[in-house]
Amino acid sequence: MPHLDAARLRLLTGPRADIALAGLVLVLAGVAEGQRLGSDRDATASAIGSWILAVAVCAALPARGRHPVAVGWFTVIGTGFYHLLSTVDGPLVVIPVAALYTLAAQGRTQASVAMAAVMVIGVGAGVLVGTGDVNGTAVFMLTGWLVAVLALGSMRHGRVAYAEEEARLRATQERLRIARELHDVIGHNMSMIHVQASSALHRLHKDPAQAQEALTAIKQGSKEGLRELRATLGVLRQVDEVAPTGPSPGLARIGELVTSAAGAGLDVKVERSGSHAPLPASVDLAAYRIVQESLTNAVKHSGARHVVVRIHHGDRELTIGVQDDGRGATPSAQGDGSGIAGMTERARALGGTLTAGPGAAGGFAVRGRLPFPDHTSRSAE
């Protein structure tokens, strides 16, 4: 017995589905008209007219994607004239109902409601005139079907609008994330390179040995910055390109930040306490970037000579404190960049908090709290 692969079965969509539906309705209408001619030989003229209207109405349906309002009104009016000529309550009404659904699914509420009202009023007028083809029950049933079609179309429109808005929100969040990464990577390394280059130029003739050390630090810092920049830009690569596979920076590499800051004239002391369990990757990266940006601000704006970095790894959260002995960031310096805002966004994205401002004992202080699931509860699960 041959195997039927359900994954290969696809429902027709778009113009092909409209052509298939229109063809099916036209065949059924033709069968109904043929039966009418067989029972009433005197209805030849009206049958020809109703058949032409049925063909025109069905032929218009595939154009509803490009001209939904025009096709909708044409099918409604054409179907109305068809029922005036024909005594057969045929399936042609399916065509304007399909056009009505398209309008509702596109959010064209006024046009779809107006067409539905015209259809109900037309059928109701037929009942009042007493044509004998329809009755009050038919009007009631048609009204219920049209309301259901409008509701389904509106639901479809709402789902599509929600999906588009969600996609835009994800794209915006991704752009902000990439912007933060680029700012942190480029800002930190360029700040260190600038300070070390200035020092090298100042000492080039007076102390060539120290100038050489500064140039060596510049070379290493630029190499590290380029590597991180390539890793960050990897998310923007095309699908067929090979993206970097190296791990994201974390607190395990905080020694590199200390070395880089030392080359820029900062004496950095790191104090760590608490658990030594691995951190979630998102928390580890955020903590690294907060320390990196804090040291960058100390070099660029604070004029500090000593910085203390305190990191406490608790059971449910990681706390970070960066305190320098400088004069503090000036208001203009805080407003020029997006470093503090970026650190705050990183903390909030993880459900944490971050504050930055003058320290109690002078200088500038950054304090961050990054929560994460309890290690004990995760291992128990």
Percent of the chain with pLDDT over 90: 9
241 has a pLDDT exceeding 50:
no
- DSSP labels, 130-185: T-SS--HHHHHHHHHHHHHHHHHHHHHHHHHHHHHHHHHHHHHHHHHHHHHHHHHH
Hey, what amino acid is at 373? P
Kindly tell me if the per-residue pLDDT of 63 is higher than 80.
yes
CA-based nearest residue to 175, from 297, 340, 337, 342: 342
* Bridge partners for 322 per DSSP: 309, 366
**Position 44 in a domain:** yes
User: Could you tell me the CATH number of the domain that includes residue 294?
Assistant: 3.30.565.10
111-168 pLDDT, tens digit each: 888 888 888 887 777 666 655 555 567 677 778 888 888 888 888 888 888 888 888 8
Q: Helix or strand or coil: residue 329?
A: coil
pLDDT value of position 381: 42
Strand partners, 274: 313
Residue 148 lies in a domain: no
Query: What's the rounded mean pLDDT across residues 83-97?
Result: 75
Q: Which domain holds residue 104?
A: 11-134
The answer as to whether 292 is a domain residue is yes
| Residue 270: band (very low, low, confident or very high) from pLDDT cuts 50, 70, 90 | very high
> What confidence score (pLDDT) does residue 272 get?
92
Shortest CA distance to 32 belongs to which of 91, 79, 104?
91
Write down the residue that tokens 């037309």 correspond to: 122
d(C-alpha 330, C-alpha 353), whole Å: 22
- Residue 38 — pLDDT band, cuts 50, 70, 90? low
| 61 has pLDDT over 80 | yes
Q: Is the pLDDT of residue 85 over 90?
A: no
pLDDT above 60 (res 88): yes
**Is the CB of residue 243 less than 8 Å from the CB of residue 235?**
yes
**What's the pLDDT score for residue 1?**
44
Residue 181 lies in a domain: no
Give 4's pLDDT tier (boundaries 50, 70, 90): very low
Tell me: pLDDT of 187 over 60: yes
Residue 233 lies in a domain: no
**C-beta of residue 106 within 8 angstroms of C-beta of residue 157:** yes
Pick from 94, 116, 134: which residue ends a domain? 134
Q: In what order do the strands lie in the sheet with 353-358?
A: 267-274, 306-313, 317-324, 364-371, 353-358
The predicted pLDDT at position 69 comes to: 87
Average pLDDT over the chain, rounded to an integer: 76
pLDDT over 50 at 7, yes or no: no
User: Smallest Cα–Cα separation from 177: which of 257, 279, 285?
Assistant: 285
How is residue 154 written in tokens?
Answer: 């509106």
- Rounded Cα distance between 43 and 176, Å, is 71
Q: How many other CB atoms are found less than 10 A from the CB of residue 24?
A: 13
- What's residue 132's pLDDT? 52
Q: How many helices (H) and strands (E) does the chain have?
A: 12, 5
Residues shown for the chain: 381
Identify which of 326, 369, 364, 380 has the alpha carbon closest to the alpha carbon of residue 347: 369
Q: 80 pLDDT band (50/70/90 cuts)?
A: confident
Give the highest mean pLDDT range of 157-166, 181-190, 211-220, 330-339: 157-166
Indicate whether 332 pLDDT > 50.
no
Two tokens, residue 363? 């200088």
Considering only residues 357 and 198, tell me which one the structure prediction assigns the higher pLDDT.
357
Q: What is the DSSP letter of 359?
A: -
Q: Which of 134, 166, 184 is the last residue of a domain?
A: 134
pLDDT at 257 over 90: no
pLDDT beyond 70 at 333: no
Interval 290-326: pLDDT, tens: 998 888 888 877 778 899 999 999 989 999 999 998 8
Structure tokens, 22: 């229109």
Query: What b/e readout covers 74-88, taking b as 16+ CB neighbours within 10 angstroms?
Result: bbbbbbbebbebbbb
Q: Flag whether 35 is in a domain.
A: yes
pLDDT band at 99 (very low <50, low <70, confident <90, very high): confident
More confident site: 347 or 185: 347
> Residue 122 and residue 136: Cα distance in Å, rounded?
12
Between CA 119 and CA 113 the distance in angstroms is 10
For the stretch 167-184, pLDDT in tens is: 888 877 777 777 776 777
The total of structural domains in the chain comes to 2
Residue 107 backbone class (left: φ over 0; alpha: ψ -120 to 50; beta: rest)? left
Tell whether 246 is covered by a domain. Answer: no
End-to-end CA distance of the chain: 46
Q: Is the pLDDT of residue 43 over 60?
A: no
pLDDT of 8 reads 45
| 167 vs 82: CA distance, rounded Å | 45
- Distance between CA 120 and CA 100 in Å, rounded? 13
Q: What is the pLDDT of residue 296?
A: 83
Q: Which residues pair with 269 in a beta bridge?
A: 308
The CA-atom distances, in angstroms, between 243 and each of 83, 171, 191, 281 are 64, 20, 27, 18
Among 134, 160, 184, identify where a domain stops: 134
Confidence of residue 271 (pLDDT cuts 50, 70, 90): very high
Decide if 69 is inside a domain.
Answer: yes
pLDDT for 163: 83
Confidence grade of residue 32 (pLDDT, cut at 50, 70, 90): low
On the question of pLDDT at 10 being above 60, the answer is: no
Gap between the Cα atoms of 183 and 152, Å rounded? 47
Residue with tokens 């995760």: 378
